[in-house]
Amino acid sequence: MFGLFGLGVGLAFNSDSAASLASISITLFGFVGNVFMPLSGTMLAIAHYTPMYGYAALARWPITEGALISGGSDSIWLVAANVAAWALAFGVLVRFGVLRSRRRR
């Protein structure tokens, strides 16, 4: 999924800014996506819709079985749907980038 993200950013922006934009975005996705520290409340509600949340929740699933530190739990189907939806969104970004690059030739 994040390979598609990197490819999409590389196709959408020039090479000078694409690498820095992709790395900054991944770091931001990690902080907002409940990867580096446990979130709760409104921030956790926002984190459910970020691309890194699904991957982090799937990585923790064998140990926590979806339990969250702040209470409650995640459904495995919602976590998998998060990953699938973001993979589809990044795939669409790549498709538009490829079409745009072919029009320039």
Please state the rounded mean pLDDT for residues 6-16.
87
Give residue 105's pLDDT: 65
71: pLDDT strictly greater than 90: no
Task: For 34-74, give the DSSP string.
Answer: TSSS---THHHHHHTTSHHHHHHHHHHHHHHTTB-TTS-B-
pTM higher than 0.75 for the full model?
A: yes
